[in-house]
Structure 1
């Protein structure tokens, strides 16, 4: 896929399809994980057929094992995921939306790319 000529919406569709190909055990295949200071996973980068793809949670998520997952009436999860290729065009915003039980956050695509390039497996935000 040529990142420079692919529109962002199409790029995200391709990235989502590539992440779905990884299957339900995709967490084991993560190259790099991003965590908040309390240890909640905010995002992960996966190697896929579409290149390196970042997946971040944009909902608050549960705080513990006894918390019930919030689901609307149609059965889908309220904790949606932001899925996109890690590489982006020069005109793309560097910010990646994310969040956990601690609250909403914004991650830097460039900093995550640097962590992947230096083979960091876990990045903890300060």
Structure 2
């Protein structure tokens, strides 16, 4: 995919389709995981057919076995995921939204790219 010529909405749609191709066991295929100080997984980067794709949780949610899953009135999940290619155009913001049970966070697209390039497997946020 040519990132410079692909609109952001189309790029995100292709990234989502590429992540869905990985199947239900996609966590085993992550090349990079991002964790908060409490060891919650905040985001992950996957190697896909569209290139490296970042998937981050966009809101707080229960993490325990007894926690209820947040669901809207029409059956849609309230805790959705932000999915995008790790590469973006120079005109886009470097910030990627993320969150976990500890609260909202922001991730740097550039720092995630550097971590993938250096073959880092886990990034721990401070």
Q: TM-score, normalised by structure 2?
A: 0.97
Structure 1: segments with no counterpart, 5+ residues: none
Q: CA RMSD in A?
A: 0.7
- After superposing on structure 2, the runs of 4+ consecutive aligned residues of structure 1 that deviate more than 3 Å are none
Aligned to 1:13: 13
Aligned to 1:44: 44
- Give the length in aligned residue pairs: 126
Give runs of aligned pairs for residues 67-82 of structure 1, distance below 5 A.
67-82=67-82
Hey, what's the Cα distance between the residues in 2 that align with 1:44 and 1:60? Answer: 16
Structure 2: segments with no counterpart, 5+ residues: none
Hey, what's the Cα distance between the residues in 2 that align with 1:63 and 1:27? Answer: 16
Q: TM-score, normalised by structure 1?
A: 0.97
Hey, what's the Cα distance between the residues in 2 that align with 1:22 and 1:74? Answer: 27
